[in-house]
Amino acid sequence: MGKFEITSRKNGEFQFNLKATNGQVILTSQGYKTKASCLNGVESVKKNSQDEKRFEIKEAANGKPFFNLMATNGQVIGSSQMYANEANMKNGIASVMNNAPDAEIVDLTEE
């Protein structure tokens, strides 16, 4: 089972990473001012990741494909890494869809 890891940034903001069962980061959030809003972002990923239309495929300046997961209001709630090719990126989307709904939430800010 995948997991969401909540961490804090040097600037005091919170973020989450969704990790697959193999420990690889498959989605990273923006920075959130509060932990509560970060947890809301996690819930948004759990819900929106089940709709393939919420994944926006993009191309970086270096030509590498990546994707954003969008909320219903059009806001980006998470971004993937850059992938070597489109097939790997599509596997990344499938991994988010499979891992997000039941992923446990691990708060690393409380250690």
Question: Where does the pLDDT of residue 1 fall: very low under 50, low under 70, confident under 90, or very high at 90 and above?
Answer: confident
> pLDDT, tens digit, for every residue of 89-107?
999 999 999 999 999 999 9
CB 18 within 8 A of CB 7: no
Question: Where does the pLDDT of residue 111 fall: very low under 50, low under 70, confident under 90, or very high at 90 and above?
Answer: low
Domain boundaries, the chain: 3-110
Spell out the residues 6+ positions from residue 106 whose beta carbon is closer than 8 angstroms to its own: 3, 4, 5, 6
Which architecture does CATH list for 3-110?
Answer: Roll (2.30)
Residue 76 corresponds to which tokens in the numbers above? Answer: 């980006």
Report pTM.
0.94
Report the share of the chain in percent with pLDDT over 70: 99
**What is the pairing mode between strands 14-19 and 25-28?**
antiparallel
